[in-house]
Chain A
Amino acid sequence: MATYQLNVNGANREVEAVPNTPLLWVLRDNLNLTGTKYGCGVAQCGACTVHLDGTAVRSCSLPVSAIGNKKVTTIEGLSSGENLHPVQQAWMDENVPQCGYCQTGQIMSAAALIEKNQTPSDSDIEEAMSGNICRCGTYERIRKAIKKASNAAAK
Chain B
Amino acid sequence: MKADTNESKIFKVSRRDFVKTTSMSISGLLLGISFSCSDTAKKLSGNPEYVFSPNLFITLNGNGDVTLIAHRSEMGTGIRTSLPLIMADEMEADWNRVKVVQAVGDEKYGDQNTDGSYSVRMFFTPLRKAGATVRLLLEQAAAKEWDVDVSECKAKNHEVVHSSGKTLGFGLLAEKAAALPMPEESSVKLKEPKDFKYISKQSSIVDLKDIVTGKAKFGFDNNHLPNTKIAVVKRNPEPGAGLKSFIADNAVKVPGVIKVFTLDAPGFPTTLNKPLGGVVVVAENTWAALEGRKALDVTWNKGMNADYDTKSYNNAMLKSVKTKGKVRRENGQVDKALASAKKIIEADYVVPLLSHTPMETPCALAHVHDNACEVWAPVQDPQGVRKSLAEALGMDLKNVTVNITLLGGAFGRKSKPDFVVEAALISRTMGTPIKILWTREDDIQHDFYHFPSAQHIKVGIDENNKVTSWLHRSAFPPIDGTSNANAKEASGAELSMGMIDLPYAIENVCCETQEAEAKIRIGWLRSVANIHHAYAVGCTLDEVAKARGVDPVQNMLDLLGDDRTIDFNSLTSEFWNYSEKLEDFPWSTARFRHVIETAKEKSNWGKSLPKGSGQGFAAHRSFLTYVACVVEVAVDANNKIRIPKVDYVVDCGVPVNPERIKAQFEGGAAFAASLALKSEITVSNGAVQQSNFHNYQVGRMSDSPYETAVHIIESNEKPTGVGEPPVPPFIPALCNAIYAATGKRVRQLPVRLA
Contacts and interface: CB of A to CB of B under 8 A. Distances in A.
A117 interface: no
Given A75-B214, A137-B671, A101 B287 contact: no
Contact of B213 (A18, A35, A38, A142): A35
Contact of B218 (A41, A101, A136, A140): A101
B692 A98 contact: no
B76 A22 contact: no
A92 B359 CA distance: 20
Interface stretch (B6-14, B150-158, B618-626, B693-701): B693-701
A95 B666 contact: no
A39 B744 CA distance: 36
Nearest to B435: A29
Contacts, number: 189
Contacts of B212: 84, 88, 91-92, 96-97, 103-104, 107
A38 B287 CA distance: 12
Contacts of B701: 125-126, 129-130, 132, 139, 142-143
B215 interface: yes
Contacts of A22: 287
B94 to A, nearest CB: 20
How extensive is the interface on chain A, given as a class?
35 or more
Choose among B663, B668, B705, B708 the residue with the greatest number of A CB atoms under 10 Å from its CB.
B663
A52 to B, nearest CB: 17
B286 interface: yes
14 contacts: A22-B287, A29-B286, A38-B286, A41-B692, A42-B692, A44-B692, A91-B212, A92-B209, A99-B74, A129-B701, A135-B411, A137-B673, A138-B666, A140-B707
Prevailing SS type, chain B contact patch: loop
A36 B286 CA distance: 14
Contacts of A35: 213-215
Interface residues of B, number: 68
B76 A98 contact: yes
Given A137-B666, A137-B671, A100 B207 contact: yes
Given A76-B213, A99-B407, A140-B708, A34 B663 contact: no
B358 A99 contact: yes
A25 B285 contact: yes
Contacts of A76: 213-214
Contact of B440 (A41, A88, A97, A99): A41
Nearest to B75: A99
B674 interface: yes
Contacts of A152: none
Given A99-B407, A130-B702, A133-B698, A79 B440 contact: no
B255 interface: yes
Contact of B670 (A28, A33, A137): A137
Given A133-B693, A135-B358, A34 B223 contact: yes
A37 B667 contact: no
A150 interface: no
B214 A133 contact: no
B659 interface: yes
Given A29-B287, A136-B409, A47 B359 contact: yes
A128 to B, nearest CB: 10
B700 A133 contact: yes
Contacts of B205: 95, 97
B437 interface: yes
B698 A95 contact: no
A101 B78 contact: no
B669 A137 contact: yes
Interface in B397-424: 406-411
B659 A36 contact: no
Choose among B77, B290, B358, B359 the residue with the greatest number of A CB atoms under 10 Å from its CB.
B359
B216 interface: yes
Given A18-B288, A42-B694, A140-B707, 7 more contacts: A17-B287, A18-B255, A39-B359, A99-B359, A130-B701, A133-B693, A133-B700
Nearest to B74: A99
Nearest to A17: B287
A107 B78 CA distance: 20
A6 interface: no
A21 interface: yes
A102 B664 CA distance: 16
B255 A1 contact: yes
Given A25-B287, A97-B208, A99-B359, A137 B674 contact: yes
A63 B665 CA distance: 39
Interface in A5-51: 17-18, 20-22, 25, 28-30, 32-42, 44-45, 47
A113 interface: no
Contacts of B77: 98
A40 B692 contact: yes
B699 A137 contact: yes
B204 interface: yes
Interface string B630-645: 0000000000000000
Interface in B200-237: 204-205, 207-209, 211-218, 220-221, 223, 230
A128 B212 CA distance: 19
A144 B376 CA distance: 34
Nearest to B443: A40
Nearest to B207: A100
B361 interface: yes
